[in-house]
């Protein structure tokens, strides 16, 4: 069976995104087939389109999309978790920007009542990334000072909310004062970054001289040294992206003196079993926050899938606060 899909015609700019078709297999044992209503746009999609972040083995090489929301339309043998007609969302290694996809039933997360599918499509990648990094890779808790780079981004807006929900103290950074002004309702202390990277002193000032217990960094590159300077004693730096470069120099003395920890993490290449465990834990620990109104995806714009090139251009121009969602 064939369905419509957004395809990458070749490495290049947004113009290489074209609507085409793809085949969707029947669901296997304990799998479900989902009719995709919407998919969130992420930085990884931009990198894949440019030929810089190929899909892992088993994922469609030319259909972007790491998160989806939709409706279960068919169940494979033994699939009992979601009835036909159930609204679900989740992360995939690729291919979310097709009208249908097949996933293991345990990777699909129920969409809370009262949340539109176009909103749900903006949840999985950014909220699971931020939650896993802050609470499973690091140990954010009540009273923790958390430095969140790119606070106006999808991951940033998710991380600020998750930190607040846990009773932590979020400090968000960004290069645009205007964009940061739009996330003031998230109740984070905000710092405008400068070039070269210079934020450690202000982070220390805003934390009473303590520094950040945890830093969530999607920039990498030249931020490494300043991140370490901004860390508190026994603090943890969690690197979730390398948008600012993959190489940097570091004076190891400060790292040793602070007894600091540097961790790297990524979701896309994890095994199915790891993703299932992560999805189940997220459902139990974080999903109630959306039910009770403590958490909300920040969706700046919903656009038809046909306008994917324009959506990519907006994200590349850093003209977005929160997420762009593409819908069929």
Peptide bond between residue 196 and the one before it cis (omega within 30 degrees of 0):
yes
In a shared domain, residues 26 and 92: yes
In a shared domain, residues 130 and 243: yes
Give the 3-state secondary structure of residue 119: helix
Read off the pLDDT band of 84 (50, 70, 90).
Answer: very high
Q: Compute the average pLDDT of residues 116-137.
A: 98
In a shared domain, residues 159 and 258: yes
Read off the pLDDT band of 178 (50, 70, 90).
Answer: confident
Q: How many domains does the chain have?
A: 2
In a shared domain, residues 148 and 68: no
Cα separation, 121 vs 69, in Å, equals: 5
In a shared domain, residues 21 and 133: no
CB 27 within 8 A of CB 33: yes
Among the listed residues 46, 18, 42, the one whose alpha carbon sits nearest the alpha carbon of residue 92: 42
pLDDT digits (tens, 9 = 90+) for 230-261: 999 999 999 999 877 788 888 788 889 999 99
Last residue of a domain, one of 264, 289, 305: 264
Q: Compute the average pLDDT of residues 264-268.
A: 93
* Confidence at residue 10, expressed as pLDDT on a 0 to 100 scale: 97
pLDDT above 90: residue 163: yes
Last residue of a domain, one of 211, 244, 264: 264
Cα separation, 303 vs 174, in Å, equals: 25
Residue 145's domain spans which residues?
A: 126-264
The pLDDT mean for the chain works out to 94
In a shared domain, residues 116 and 130: no
CB 155 within 8 A of CB 126: yes
Q: pTM for the complete prediction?
A: 0.95
What CATH number does residue 224 fall under? 3.40.50.720
């Amino acid at each position: 069976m064939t369905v419509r899909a957004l395809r990458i015609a070749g490495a290049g700019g947004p113009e290489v995104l074209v609507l085409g078709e793809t085949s969707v297999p029947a669901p296997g044992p304990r799998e479900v087939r989902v009719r995709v209503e919407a998919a969130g746009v992420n930085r990884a999609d931009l990198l894949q389109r440019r030929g810089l972040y190929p899909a892992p083995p088993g994922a469609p090489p030319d259909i972007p999309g790491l998160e989806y929301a939709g409706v279960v339309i068919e169940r494979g043998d033994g699939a009992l978790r979601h009835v036909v007609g159930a609204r679900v969302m989740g992360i995939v290694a690729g291919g979310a920007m097709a009208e249908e996809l097949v996933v293991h039933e345990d990777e699909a997360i129920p969409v809370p009542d009262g949340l539109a599918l176009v909103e749900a499509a903006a949840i999985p990648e950014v909220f699971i990334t931020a939650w896993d990094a802050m609470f499973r890779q690091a140990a954010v808790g009540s009273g923790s000072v958390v430095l969140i780079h790119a606070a106006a981004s999808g991951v940033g807006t998710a991380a600020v909310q998750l930190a607040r929900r846990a009773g932590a103290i979020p400090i968000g950074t960004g290069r645009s004062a205007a964009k940061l002004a739009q996330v003031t309702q998230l109740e984070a202390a905000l710092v405008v970054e400068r070039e070269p990277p210079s934020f450690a002193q202000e982070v220390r000032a805003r934390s009473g001289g303590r520094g950040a217990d945890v830093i969530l960094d999607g920039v990498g590159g030249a931020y490494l040294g300043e991140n370490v300077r901004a860390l508190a004693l026994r603090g943890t730096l969690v690197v979730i992206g390398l948008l600012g470069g993959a190489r940097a120099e570091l004076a190891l003395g400060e790292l040793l003196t602070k007894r600091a920890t540097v961790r790297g993490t990524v979701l896309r290449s994890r095994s199915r079993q790891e993703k299932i465990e992560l999805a189940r834990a997220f459902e139990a620990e974080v999903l109630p926050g959306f039910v009770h109104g403590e958490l909300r995806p920040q969706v700046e714009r919903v656009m038809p899938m046909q306008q994917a090139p324009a959506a990519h251009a907006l994200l590349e121009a850093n003209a977005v606060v929160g997420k762009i969602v593409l819908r069929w």
